[in-house]
Chain A
Amino acid sequence: MSLREIHLTVNGEARTATVENRLLLVHCIRENLGLTGTHVGCETSHCGACTIHVEGTPVKSCTMFAVQADGKSITTVEGLAGPDGISPVQEGFWEEHGLQCGFCTPGMMMTATALVRVEEEPSEAEIREAISGNLCRCTGYVNIVRAIQFAHRKIHSPAPVPVMAHEGGE
């Protein structure tokens, strides 16, 4: 069994891990780096629960080897909040009730975070297409779409975001 030392930047911090070549990146993140926010849903490249950013691009971390991230900068859900608190995407999921069990949520928010960077407001169809690699068994996606719209407005519209009251809400 050959072990290799890899050096990567994880949520802005330099980290080192000693890994087998065959170790999947998601397992390195959870087990070697101790960041268990990134989930393993299917392990067959379908569900997107393991989505992280590699050099800013959202990818399924169960379908990359940890050695492929050597020298790279990665961001996991733990890296979304900044010194000023939770990110606009996290706030959107909170305000719009974008989660139920929360299993898909870390991956969903990583995909959403990349999507809302683009200045032009995505249509609902574009949002649904963008999250089509992230499966949610609970919400029916409606509130996830709203959460992403909330985040986009918060980032790109100067006006304060009104908190919408939904049917059945407080």
Chain B
Amino acid sequence: MIPAAFDYLAPASLDEAIDLLARHGPDAKILSGGMSLIPAMKIRLAEPAVIVDINGIPDFEYLREEGGQLHIGAMTRESAFEQSGLVRHGYPILFETAKVIADPLVRNRATIGGNIAHADPANDHPATMLAVGATIVARGPNGTREIAADDFFNGFFSTALEDGEMVTEIRVPAPTARTGSTYLKFERKVGDYAIAAVAVNLEVDEAGHCTSARIGLTNVSDVPMRARNAESALIGHAVNAKSIEAASREAAAECDPKADLRGPVEYKRDLVRVLAGRAIGRAVARAQGRTH
């Protein structure tokens, strides 16, 4: 379990990090929390020649509201989401997502930037980012650009990031008074990746109709995915047991799980149906102010 040798560079600023990434090209890998990269290096699944450790860059861990959005520094640790009152009360879906990632020791190191950039379909943040309609801010040699979460995850462990680009910030729109959202994960044992998980973010008007809905699914396809048919089954409809059941059946039908140690395809689909039903129900209750 000894990683291959590498050159270690620890830039003291974002500019320096971008320069180093440009200079070393595809030989270089960014090291943030290291909770996915170091395990992969130990089994030699990853053998980067150069490591660019971004832990020493100042002011890279923050959670602040600005212009109707939550701005999250890419190096913000999962544990910071758990400890933040702003997240817990204002963005419960982010609290619920961080809380079920790995275990508390891993969460003390793991970062949201790494979790998203790694784009493991089993990672928990991507589905939530799809559900909340987050914007991912990336910086590279040609400057800064904003990428919608919908355009960010484009393949198995693959993202819209160009060579030399890094995630610097994630922006999440603030919920409205009529928004309800939640993240619901089912895992084989504590600290494990999801067998399946469902992220729901919706709005319900005073008449009890769903006016918007975005649903993200974890670990039931090669790429973190939106359950668009499930969303359509809700939008414009009265939210009740029947429409929730219809939407959860759509989610089960449109996901694309693989059989593995966590279970066969039929089981995973049915799990998506059950989790989606519960998550939509909880999000609706929150949107209607019945629960928090």
Q: Which residues of A contact B (CB under 8 A)?
A: 1-2, 4, 20-22, 24, 43-46, 48, 51, 57-60, 63-65, 67-68, 111, 129-130, 132-134
> For chain B residues 117-167, which have a beta carbon within 8 Å of chain A?
none
Instruction: Provide the residues of chain A in CB contact with B191, threshold 8 Å.
Output: 46, 132-133
Instruction: Give the distance to chain B from A11, nearest Cβ to Cβ, in Å.
Output: 19
- Given A68-B55, A132-B103, A44-B6 contact (CB < 8 Å): no
User: Would A132 and B5 count as touching, CB distance under 8 A?
Assistant: no
User: Would A63 and B35 count as touching, CB distance under 8 A?
Assistant: yes
Q: Mark B31-47, 1 if CB is under 8 A from A, else 0.
A: 00011001101100000
User: Would A22 and B2 count as touching, CB distance under 8 A?
Assistant: yes
User: Would A65 and B38 count as touching, CB distance under 8 A?
Assistant: yes
Task: Name the residue of chain B whose CB is nearest to the CB of A131.
Answer: B104
> For chain B residues 236-251, which have a beta carbon within 8 Å of chain A?
none
- Given A51-B105, A59-B108, A68-B53 contact (CB < 8 Å): yes
Q: Which residues of B contact A (CB under 8 A)?
A: 1-8, 10, 34-35, 38-39, 41-42, 51, 53, 55, 102-106, 108-109, 190-191
User: Would A45 and B190 count as touching, CB distance under 8 A?
Assistant: no
Instruction: Give the distance to chain A from B50, nearest Cβ to Cβ, in Å.
Output: 10
Task: Name the residue of chain B whose CB is nearest to the CB of A23.
Answer: B2
- Given A44-B42, A133-B102, A21-B34 contact (CB < 8 Å): no
Expressed in whole angstroms, the Cα–Cα distance for A42 and B35 within the complex equals 14
Instruction: Provide the residues of chain B in CB contact with A129, threshold 8 Å.
Output: 104
Q: Show 16 A/B contacts (Cβ-Cβ < 8 Å), sorted by A.
A: A4-B8, A21-B8, A22-B41, A24-B38, A44-B39, A45-B106, A46-B191, A48-B105, A58-B105, A60-B106, A60-B109, A64-B109, A67-B10, A67-B53, A129-B104, A132-B104
Instruction: Give the distance to chain B from A29, nearest Cβ to Cβ, in Å.
Output: 16
Q: CB within 8 A of A63: which of B2, B8, B10, B39?
A: B39
Expressed in whole angstroms, the Cα–Cα distance for A57 and B33 within the complex equals 14
User: Would A22 and B102 count as touching, CB distance under 8 A?
Assistant: no
User: Would B6 and A59 count as touching, CB distance under 8 A?
Assistant: no
Instruction: Provide the residues of chain B in CB contact with A67, threshold 8 Å.
Output: 8, 10, 53
Expressed in whole angstroms, the Cα–Cα distance for A46 and B192 within the complex equals 10
User: Would A63 and B104 count as touching, CB distance under 8 A?
Assistant: no
Q: CB within 8 A of A58: which of B10, B41, B108?
A: B108
Expressed in whole angstroms, the Cα–Cα distance for A140 and B157 within the complex equals 37
Considering residues A60, A130, A134, which has the most beta carbons from chain B within 10 angstroms of its beta carbon? Answer: A60
Q: CB within 8 A of B105: which of A2, A4, A24, A133?
A: A133
Q: CB within 8 A of B39: which of A1, A45, A57?
A: A45
Instruction: Provide the residues of chain B in CB contact with A48, threshold 8 Å.
Output: 103, 105
Task: Name the residue of chain A whose CB is nearest to the CB of B103.
Answer: A133
Instruction: Give the distance to chain A from B197, nearest Cβ to Cβ, in Å.
Output: 18
Instruction: Give the distance to chain B from A35, nearest Cβ to Cβ, in Å.
Output: 19
Instruction: Provide the residues of chain A in CB contact with B42, threshold 8 Å.
Output: 43-44
